[in-house]
């Protein structure tokens, strides 16, 4: 077991060296000692990164839900697997034991089977953070169906694009969602989306807010009566190691969202291993990741990683500000949370409020604090460390991506000394490389460049659904035989990594990955808009916010511009969701372009960041005169 649970820095280095010298042996031992395999693998790893083709544990047979549920029933049947904490603190929390989880997953899986869902079929899940969300993922996995969760904050357009891209025939949703003091009409959004999804023939609806919704005859069914009738056991479908487990969409810098495909065995081993080590999980700890299961963080560290370790995981429906800004800390106290994992944007938002909100709650159960999704700035790190961890809890700044499946670079608590803003060291099995602009690897320390990973790891996505060429071109063509992350990073004198941010046209807003192209496409749909360009600029709470430069077909009066701004944000909300709304919109008569017609975003970025002293050479632009106009009209 020593490979599995690292306890000090010396051991980390030993394990790390071993994992790099002989990755196959390393990942074989991890897999052998900790999981339930129905058939052993024939080969631990086969890969060719030029294609790219990667397979881990080829030949093995398993079902991930047997690993996440069944095998715990004998030793931990009455242990709580999931603590559901509702949006409204006066509603009772629900404790679901491993035994109960087994029954609920089996029943749900049988309902899916009764509706014709088979191994390999795609199932779209559009649900709020309620137990049925976690259960529906596991129910799909039980029968070998591929789940595709769409974050319930996405609009109907975003939803139908994703449903059609992976050709889902069934959607699981709810009558609505609670979010703080608001309710959201999820079913209405689904109805609208399905007008553009001719292949969806079944919608299973969870009753959550008891709203009066329209149920389309034959297509829409309330889930609960079906569950009540369903048999309580369901034989797990045996999966090949490389059978897809799920699709999860992420934004790219261009084009439509990419359906990242994760497969079964490697993803399971990787999320379980990283969960155990990064959070130093011990039996009877209570782990809470505040992410939504609609994002990869929730897939890997609310559902699969914790359950594969027999852990107790908190599933929180609410928001940090309802009923007040003490909500997170109240939940920590109530459930005696030991590991708390959240995003810097939440920390920054809470740090702006009075300290009384955290001080009035007992946070002494906390042992480890985590951060994910974007760089954590020094101020937020200290606030977290001082006021929440009381300088007593290691902070794990975990760097990873939807594509990587699990955490890649992170301190290991009690082993790796932490430094604010540094994700520190690669986890065992992870081989980062920093590359210069010419495609050469930067060796040694005190270098900065583009972050790549030069050897496969079990959790990596294997393809983009329906578009393997795009997978190769996006991730494996910039640097030969290396996975390119899209991030920049530096390595300091001790070998620690600090992630410096995206080097492409993806902007991280409040920890959400937003591609500029889909937002620009949405804006350009407005009849008054001729062209637009989006860039990010630093924002106190969100990390980055969006700044749009918009050319109108007719420039018009300033008075009308305010209405247009609202309309543009409305269009973005409809096409993507409120998370992609622009904070600033500047109307202009032109955009700086190269002679080949490409928008020079670098210049727009500098203007948005108010760093106009150093715009670089603009003389080669097609229209250098427009730069002054944009600078004069910049919104402060
Ligand atoms: O830019 C990096 C940033 O988030 C991107 C990945 O976003 P997504 O696929 O949505 O996954 C988010 C949750 C894993 C990365 O390319 N990012 C993530 N974690 C960190 C980070 N940037 C700096 N520090 C981090 N700890």
The H or E element that residue 493 is part of is: none
Distance from Cα 399 to the centre of ligand 1, integer Å: 6
DSSP code of residue 281:
-
Q: Specify whether the CB–CB gap between 543 and 510 falls below 8 A.
A: yes
Burial class of residue 341 (count of CB atoms within 10 Å of its CB; 0-12, 13-18, 19+): buried
101 phi and psi angles, rounded to 5 deg? -65, -40
Q: Write the CB contacts of 312 (distance below 8 Å, at least 6 apart in sequence).
A: 79, 80, 81, 82, 83, 284, 285, 286, 287, 306
Q: How far apart are CA 166 and CA 247, in angstroms?
A: 8
Distance from Cα 487 to the centre of ligand 1, integer Å: 9
User: Can you say how many angstroms the Cα of residue 389 is from the centroid of all Cα atoms in its chain?
Assistant: 24
Residue bearing the CA closest to ligand 1, atom 4: 373
pLDDT, mean over the chain: 95
Taking residues 388-404, what's their average pLDDT? 98
DSSP-derived 3-state class of residue 633 = coil
pLDDT of 110-152, one tens digit each?
A: 999 999 999 999 999 999 999 999 999 999 999 999 999 999 9
SS3 content of the chain, % helix, strand, coil (to 5): 35, 25, 40
| Confidence class for position 267, pLDDT limits 50, 70, 90 | very high
pTM of the model: 0.94
Instruction: Quote the strand ranges of 475-577, DSSP E.
Output: 483-491, 497-502, 506-509, 512-515, 529-539, 543-552
> Is 402 close to ligand 1, i.e. is its CB under 6 Å away?
yes
Q: Specify whether the CB–CB gap between 11 and 2 falls below 8 A.
A: yes
CB atoms near residue 301 (< 10 Å)? 29
pLDDT of 85-109, one tens digit each?
A: 999 999 999 999 999 999 999 999 9
Q: Which pLDDT belongs to residue 4?
A: 65
The H or E element that residue 375 is part of is: none
Q: Which pLDDT belongs to residue 126?
A: 98
Distance from Cα 462 to the centre of ligand 1, integer Å: 19
> Is 475 close to ligand 1, i.e. is its CB under 6 Å away?
no
> Is 398 close to ligand 1, i.e. is its CB under 6 Å away?
yes
Residue bearing the CA closest to ligand 1, atom 25: 399
Distance from Cα 343 to the centre of ligand 1, integer Å: 10
Taking residues 147-165, what's their average pLDDT? 97
> Is 296 close to ligand 1, i.e. is its CB under 6 Å away?
yes
Taking residues 367-381, what's their average pLDDT? 96
> Is 424 close to ligand 1, i.e. is its CB under 6 Å away?
no
- Out of 290, 489, 513, 515, mutate this one to test ligand 1's pocket (max ligand atoms within 8 Å of CB): namely 513
High-pLDDT (> 70) share of the chain, %? 99
Residue among 257, 277, 443 at smallest CA distance from 370? 277
Q: Specify whether the CB–CB gap between 149 and 135 falls below 8 A.
A: no
> Is 397 close to ligand 1, i.e. is its CB under 6 Å away?
yes
Q: Is the dihedral of CA 338, 339, 344, 346 positive or negative?
A: negative
**What atom in ligand 1 is closest to the CA of residue 410?**
26
Residue bearing the CA closest to ligand 1, atom 5: 401
Q: How far apart are CA 243 and CA 141, in angstroms?
A: 11
Residue among 382, 589, 417, 575 at smallest CA distance from 494? 417
Distance from Cα 485 to the centre of ligand 1, integer Å: 10
- Out of 151, 302, 423, 508, mutate this one to test ligand 1's pocket (max ligand atoms within 8 Å of CB): namely 508
Q: Write the CB contacts of 103 (distance below 8 Å, at least 6 apart in sequence).
A: 232, 233
Q: Which pLDDT belongs to residue 452?
A: 98
Residue among 416, 356, 413, 411 at smallest CA distance from 387? 356
- Out of 262, 297, 373, 502, mutate this one to test ligand 1's pocket (max ligand atoms within 8 Å of CB): namely 373
Residue bearing the CA closest to ligand 1, atom 7: 401
Pairing relation of β-strands 286-289 and 339-342?
A: parallel
Q: How far apart are CA 249 and CA 261, in angstroms?
A: 9
Q: Specify whether the CB–CB gap between 361 and 325 falls below 8 A.
A: no
Q: Which pLDDT belongs to residue 2?
A: 45
Which ranges constitute the DSSP H helices of 208-355? 223-229, 264-278, 296-298, 305-308, 327-335, 344-351
- Going from the C-alpha of 549 to that of each of 34, 91, 538, the distances in angstroms are 53, 45, 16
pLDDT of 489-499, one tens digit each?
A: 999 999 999 99
Q: Which pLDDT belongs to residue 1?
A: 39
- Is 90 exceeded by the pLDDT of residue 300? yes
Distance from Cα 538 to the centre of ligand 1, integer Å: 16
pLDDT of 549-599, one tens digit each?
A: 999 988 776 667 889 999 999 999 999 999 999 999 999 999 999 887 788
**What atom in ligand 1 is closest to the CA of residue 501?**
1
Q: How far apart are CA 532 and CA 590, in angstroms?
A: 9
Residue bearing the CA closest to ligand 1, atom 6: 401
Distance from Cα 293 to the centre of ligand 1, integer Å: 16
**What atom in ligand 1 is closest to the CA of residue 371?**
26
Distance from Cα 502 to the centre of ligand 1, integer Å: 9
Pairing relation of β-strands 463-464 and 447-453?
A: unpaired
- Out of 487, 510, 515, mutate this one to test ligand 1's pocket (max ligand atoms within 8 Å of CB): namely 487
> Is 536 close to ligand 1, i.e. is its CB under 6 Å away?
no
- Out of 378, 497, 499, 505, mutate this one to test ligand 1's pocket (max ligand atoms within 8 Å of CB): namely 499
> Is 308 close to ligand 1, i.e. is its CB under 6 Å away?
no
Q: Specify whether the CB–CB gap between 610 and 564 falls below 8 A.
A: no
Q: How far apart are CA 496 and CA 408, in angstroms?
A: 13
Residue among 310, 314, 307, 305 at smallest CA distance from 286? 314
Distance from Cα 400 to the centre of ligand 1, integer Å: 5
Residue bearing the CA closest to ligand 1, atom 2: 374
Q: Which pLDDT belongs to residue 559?
A: 67
Taking residues 456-462, what's their average pLDDT? 98
**Cis peptide bond prior to 311, omega within 30° of 0:** no
Distance from Cα 348 to the centre of ligand 1, integer Å: 17
Pairing relation of β-strands 239-240 and 220-222?
A: unpaired
> Is 257 close to ligand 1, i.e. is its CB under 6 Å away?
no
Residue among 25, 6, 56, 26 at smallest CA distance from 462? 56
382 phi and psi angles, rounded to 5 deg? -70, -40
> Is 161 close to ligand 1, i.e. is its CB under 6 Å away?
no
Q: How far apart are CA 482 and CA 473, in angstroms?
A: 12
271 phi and psi angles, rounded to 5 deg? -70, -35
Residue bearing the CA closest to ligand 1, atom 15: 401
| Confidence class for position 620, pLDDT limits 50, 70, 90 | confident
């Amino acid at each position: 077991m020593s490979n599995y649970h690292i306890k000090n820095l010396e051991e980390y280095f030993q394990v790390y060296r071993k994992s790099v010298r002989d990755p196959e042996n390393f990942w074989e031992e991890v897999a052998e000692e900790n999981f339930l395999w129905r058939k052993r693998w024939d080969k631990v790893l086969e890969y060719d990164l030029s294609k790219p083709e990667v397979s881990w544990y080829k030949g093995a047979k398993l079902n991930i839900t047997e690993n996440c549920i069944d095998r715990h029933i004998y030793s931990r049947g009455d242990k709580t697997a999931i603590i559901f904490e509702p949006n409204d603190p006066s509603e009772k929390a629900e404790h679901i034991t491993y035994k109960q989880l087994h029954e609920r997953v089996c029943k749900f899986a049988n309902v899916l089977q009764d509706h014709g869902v088979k191994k390999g079929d795609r199932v779209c899940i559009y649900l709020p953070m309620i137990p049925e969300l976690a259960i529906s993922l596991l129910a799909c996995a039980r029968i070998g169906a591929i789940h595709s969760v769409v974050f319930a904050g996405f609009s109907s357009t975003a939803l139908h694009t994703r449903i059609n891209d992976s050709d889902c025939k069934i959607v699981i949703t709810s009558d609505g969602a609670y979010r703080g003091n608001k309710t959201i009409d999820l079913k209405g959004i689904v109805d609208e989306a399905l007008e553009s999804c001719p292949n969806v023939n079944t919608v299973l609806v969870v009753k959550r807010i008891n709203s009066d919704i329209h149920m389309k005859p034959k297509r829409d069914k309330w889930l609960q009566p079906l569950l009540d009738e369903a048999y309580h056991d369901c034989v797990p479908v045996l999966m090949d190691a490389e059978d897809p487990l799920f699709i999860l969409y992420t934004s790219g810098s261009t084009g439509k969202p990419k359906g990242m495909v994760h497969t079964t065995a490697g993803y399971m081993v990787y999320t379980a291993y990283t969960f155990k080590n990064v959070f130093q999980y011990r039996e009877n700890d209570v782990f809470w990741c505040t992410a939504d299961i609609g994002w990869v963080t929730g897939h890997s560290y609310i559902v699969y990683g914790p359950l594969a370790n027999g852990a107790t995981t908190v599933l929180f429906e609410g928001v940090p500000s309802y009923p007040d800004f003490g909500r997170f800390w109240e939940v920590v106290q109530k459930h005696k949370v030991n590991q708390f994992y959240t995003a810097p944007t939440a920390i920054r938002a809470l740090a702006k409020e009075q300290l009384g909100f955290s001080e009035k709650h007992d946070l002494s159960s906390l042992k480890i604090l985590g951060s994910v999704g974007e760089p954590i700035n020094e101020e937020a790190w200290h606030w977290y460390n001082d006021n929440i961890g009381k300088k007593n809890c290691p902070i794990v700044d975990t760097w990873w991506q939807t594509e990587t499946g699990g955490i890649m670079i992170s301190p290991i608590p009690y082993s790796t000394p932490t430094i604010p803003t540094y994700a520190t060291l690669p986890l065992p099995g992870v081989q980062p490389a920093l590359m210069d602009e010419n495609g050469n690897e930067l060796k040694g320390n005190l270098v900065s460049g583009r972050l790549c990973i030069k050897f496969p790891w079990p959790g990596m996505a294997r393809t983009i659904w329906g578009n393997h060429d795009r997978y190769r071109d996006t991730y494996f063509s910039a640097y030969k035989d290396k996975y390119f992350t899209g991030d920049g990073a530096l390595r300091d004198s001790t070998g620690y990594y600090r992630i410096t941010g995206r080097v492409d046209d993806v902007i991280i807003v409040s920890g959400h990955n937003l591609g500029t192209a889909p937002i620009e496409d949405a804006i350009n749909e407005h009849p008054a808009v001729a062209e637009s360009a989006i860039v990010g600029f630093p924002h106190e709470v969100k990390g980055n916010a969006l700044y749009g430069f918009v050319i109108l077909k007719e420039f018009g009066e300033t008075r009308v511009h305010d209405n247009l701004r609202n309309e543009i944000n409305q269009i973005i909300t409809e096409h993507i969701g409120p998370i992609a709304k622009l904070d600033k919109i500047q109307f202009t008569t032109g955009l700086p372009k190269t002679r080949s017609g490409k928008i020079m975003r670098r210049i727009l970025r500098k203007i948005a960041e108010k760093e106009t002293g150093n715009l670089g050479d603009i003389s080669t632009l097609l229209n250098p005169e427009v730069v002054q106009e944009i600078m004069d009209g910049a919104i402060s």
